[in-house]
Chain A
Amino acid sequence: MASVEVYPSIEPLRWKYLDRIRTRPGPFTDLDVFEGSAVAQNMDNMKVLVIGAGGLGCELLKNLALSGFKNIHVIDMDTIDISNLNRQFLFRKSDVGKFKAEVAAAFVESRVKGVSITPHKCKIQEFDEDFYMQFQIIVCGLDSIEARRWINATLVDMVDEENPESFIPLIDGGTEGFQGQSRVILPTMTACIECMLDMHVPRAQVPLCTIATIPRQPEHCIEWAHQIAWDKEKPFPKLDKDDPEHITWLYQKALARAEEFNIPGVTYSRTQGVVKNIIPAIASTNAIIAASCCNEALKIATNCAPFLGMPEQNNYMQYSGNDSIYTYTFQTEKKPDCPVCGNRARDLDVNLGWTLKELIEALAVNPSAQLKKPSVRTEKKTLYMQSPPGLEEQTRPNMDKTLLELGLEEGEQIGVTDPAFPSVSFKFALRFK
């Protein structure tokens, strides 16, 4: 039975009111899992990872530190730009050019006694599963869908049924202007980011022919300079979107074209905006979304109240400030055919001495595959493709090689497709007998 007493932690005054929330059960607290006396210590021992130290990241780090998380890591590969200072409040003018992760970590550490923040100034892709395994919660404040998909796929793949530590809830925040969303993903249990991918409509692209022949808007002229004039003239070997000299070149090209077609509105900052695909960020939208993500992290860590994203419950909160205020919380469902979480590799027992032909024949009789004309690849190697014809010919010699000769390893995955079953593709992890 949970107690209603307040259990003070090391700094009683600072955490007094936080403790009233996190160590006491509320009306919706699940008393089977809530243990007020252990909450403070559990949180002291918990490691949380924040991905991104930008608009959302600054808010997240501040909020998490003030919510009683003691051991936080942050990853961001970016350096501070002068244009970040209006909302990324952990940075000062003298920090321009320094790494966001380092400056943000040092700032929050200096303001919140007892918190340790470890910065990583690199890409998330530079770390492996062993790194991510050390955390109990991961919170994302990213601006790129690609990075979200990467961490999502990594966390889903990491889940090992025999190891509870491999299962890490992912909290994802995102904003665009006055709109934003928070969502919680329990890898392999609830809908993952890939399942929800079609909810993100990519920015409408302008047809290349419009850009090439009949521009009507300043953006068309900028895209022309970016996609056509640059390729044709190659003023610098490689376009660096952060180099003012390069942006100036594009701006002048765009301006000349705009004048030719009598289109007003091409400016340097608009050029930069179009080329770098800058979406206007609003400080308070970031604050709202980061606050909701942080509260979910706090609830997941303590069980003091039900959190967003419990299986079979709502897992997505949408916020829009475009037309007054609107929020809606709903459940997105797991897609059975999701390429990340819906298609986990199954074990396939094979023998190293088998030829590839024997492996393919085994797939045909395997009750969970029953394929007719399977094509087989590993991530790095095309073992055998039934078509197109040229590729079939190139890979045919592999048929008589043994799995050993082909360099296949224990646990390595193979992807199997078959035109007879156009809606399915299989993944198998090889197990040597």
Chain B
Amino acid sequence: MLKIWSMKQQQQKAENEGAAGSKKKKVTAAQLRVQKDLSELSLGTTMRTEFPDPDNILSFILHIEPDEGMYKGGHFSFTFNLSSNYPHEPPKVLCQQKIYHPNIDLEGKVCLNILREDWKPVLNLNAVIVGLQFLFLEPNASDPLNKEAAEDLRAYREGFKRNVRAAMSGGSVKGVTFDRVLK
């Protein structure tokens, strides 16, 4: 082992970096990565973040107010929870309102490929929020999580649009009452 240690010291001399580092109060890889993701976030005009505890950046809320498409005028919010394993695990994202959407179920679970099966550590928070934004512009009937809504969309687009409006104003669709999300 002494041999490895002397090799180690030679290597260190070669690098000559002076990387000393303390033994306490370290910044972990997950925290640093989330910090990087957040500082590169581009939210545009339709989205904003809310940090209930600014010191805990692993947990926040994303507000989306689509300015076009069928969900225009609505206000939707999603809780984001990142684990200490991020980015090796995708963020956990839940919609806080009960909404009528083919890819979001009544409990707020979101069917977005990059939040589950297609997540990769090279993806970042920007990719996720763009994905969420896209769900409101182009609800996808072929990947349903709310089967009834998906069938409505597939069967008759205009009827689906009317249902979206009704649900967004706090009405009910086929016996299910939705949260009011209009401002």
Q: CB within 8 Å of B: which residues of A?
A: 30, 32-33, 129, 136, 145-146, 149, 153, 157-158, 160-161, 164, 167, 169, 186, 188-189, 194, 197-198, 202, 204-209, 212-213, 228, 231-232, 300-301, 303, 310-311, 339-340, 343-347, 373, 375, 377-382, 385-391, 394-395, 409-415, 417-419, 422, 425, 427, 429
For the complex with contacts A198-B121, A301-B1, A388-B49, 5 further pairs of A-B residues with Cβ separation under 8 Å are: A207-B116, A212-B147, A346-B18, A347-B20, A390-B49
List the 10 closest A-B pairs by CB distance, nearest first.
A411-B22, A339-B29, A415-B27, A344-B19, A412-B25, A345-B21, A394-B54, A33-B3, A417-B36, A205-B117
A193 to chain B, nearest CB (A): 12
In the bound assembly, the distance between CA atoms of A283 and B144 in angstroms comes to 43
Given contacts A345-B19, A390-B49, contact A379 B1 (CB under 8 A): no
Given contacts A212-B111, A425-B32, contact A379 B144 (CB under 8 A): no
Q: Which stretch of B6-14, B67-75, B158-166, B172-180 is in the interface? A: B6-14
In the bound assembly, the distance between CA atoms of A123 and B129 in angstroms comes to 35
In the bound assembly, the distance between CA atoms of A375 and B31 in angstroms comes to 13
Whether the Cβ atoms of A415 and B32 lie closer than 8 Å is yes
Whether the Cβ atoms of A380 and B55 lie closer than 8 Å is yes
CB-defined contacts of A389 to chain B, threshold 8 Å: 43, 48
Whether the Cβ atoms of A379 and B25 lie closer than 8 Å is yes
Whether the Cβ atoms of A413 and B25 lie closer than 8 Å is yes
CB-defined contacts of A417 to chain B, threshold 8 Å: 32, 35-36, 39
Whether the Cβ atoms of A208 and B8 lie closer than 8 Å is no
In the bound assembly, the distance between CA atoms of A379 and B39 in angstroms comes to 16
CB-defined contacts of A388 to chain B, threshold 8 Å: 38, 41, 43, 48-49
Highest count of chain A CB atoms <10 Å: which of B22, B85, B143 = B22
A166 to chain B, nearest CB (A): 9
Contact among B4, B48, B113, B147 with A390 in the assembled complex (CB-CB below 8 Å): B48
Given contacts A161-B9, A346-B18, contact A339 B33 (CB under 8 A): yes
Find the A residue at minimum CB distance from B21.
A345
In the bound assembly, the distance between CA atoms of A116 and B153 in angstroms comes to 69
Contact among A207, A379, A427 with B111 in the assembled complex (CB-CB below 8 Å): A207
CB-defined contacts of A375 to chain B, threshold 8 Å: 35, 38-39
List residues 81-114 of chain B with CB under 8 A from any CB of chain A. 85, 88, 103, 105, 107, 109, 111, 113
CB-defined contacts of A391 to chain B, threshold 8 Å: 38, 49, 51, 54, 57
Q: Tell me if B's interface is mostly helix, strand, loop or mixed.
A: loop
Given contacts A377-B31, A379-B28, contact A212 B145 (CB under 8 A): yes
B104 to chain A, nearest CB (A): 10
Whether the Cβ atoms of B51 and A413 lie closer than 8 Å is no
In the bound assembly, the distance between CA atoms of A122 and B84 in angstroms comes to 20
Encoded as 1 (CB less than 8 Å from any A CB) or 0, chain B from 128 to 166 comes to 000000000000000111010010000000000000000
Given contacts A205-B116, A347-B18, A379-B28, contact A387 B3 (CB under 8 A): no
Whether the Cβ atoms of B113 and A411 lie closer than 8 Å is no
Whether the Cβ atoms of A311 and B117 lie closer than 8 Å is no
Q: Is B23 an interface residue (CB 8 A)?
A: yes
B31 to chain A, nearest CB (A): 6
Q: Is B183 an interface residue (CB 8 A)?
A: no
Given contacts A213-B144, A379-B31, contact A129 B23 (CB under 8 A): yes
Highest count of chain A CB atoms <10 Å: which of B2, B32, B35, B39 = B39
Whether the Cβ atoms of B39 and A419 lie closer than 8 Å is yes
Whether the Cβ atoms of A345 and B22 lie closer than 8 Å is yes
CB-defined contacts of A30 to chain B, threshold 8 Å: 3
CB-defined contacts of B121 to chain A, threshold 8 Å: 198
Whether the Cβ atoms of A425 and B111 lie closer than 8 Å is no
In the bound assembly, the distance between CA atoms of A378 and B50 in angstroms comes to 20
Whether the Cβ atoms of B1 and A378 lie closer than 8 Å is no
In the bound assembly, the distance between CA atoms of A370 and B145 in angstroms comes to 48
Given contacts A189-B8, A194-B29, contact A429 B143 (CB under 8 A): no
Whether the Cβ atoms of A390 and B23 lie closer than 8 Å is no
Given contacts A32-B3, A375-B39, contact A390 B51 (CB under 8 A): yes
Contact among A387, A411, A418 with B24 in the assembled complex (CB-CB below 8 Å): A411
CB-defined contacts of B51 to chain A, threshold 8 Å: 390-391, 394
B102 to chain A, nearest CB (A): 9
In the bound assembly, the distance between CA atoms of A415 and B27 in angstroms comes to 6
B176 to chain A, nearest CB (A): 14
Whether the Cβ atoms of B3 and A303 lie closer than 8 Å is yes
Offer 18 A-B interface pairs, CB within 8 angstroms, sorted by A: A129-B23, A136-B1, A153-B28, A167-B4, A189-B8, A206-B117, A208-B145, A213-B147, A303-B3, A377-B27, A377-B31, A379-B26, A385-B35, A385-B39, A388-B49, A412-B24, A417-B32, A429-B21
A388 to chain B, nearest CB (A): 5
Whether the Cβ atoms of B1 and A212 lie closer than 8 Å is no
Whether the Cβ atoms of A209 and B103 lie closer than 8 Å is yes
CB-defined contacts of A167 to chain B, threshold 8 Å: 4-5, 8
Contact among B3, B19, B105, B113 with A207 in the assembled complex (CB-CB below 8 Å): B113
Find the B residue at minimum CB distance from A395.
B54
CB-defined contacts of B23 to chain A, threshold 8 Å: 129, 157-158, 160, 411
Given contacts A197-B88, A209-B144, contact A413 B27 (CB under 8 A): yes
CB-defined contacts of B33 to chain A, threshold 8 Å: 339, 425
In the bound assembly, the distance between CA atoms of A194 and B5 in angstroms comes to 22
Highest count of chain A CB atoms <10 Å: which of B29, B103, B116 = B29
A411 to chain B, nearest CB (A): 3
Whether the Cβ atoms of B39 and A413 lie closer than 8 Å is no
A10 to chain B, nearest CB (A): 23
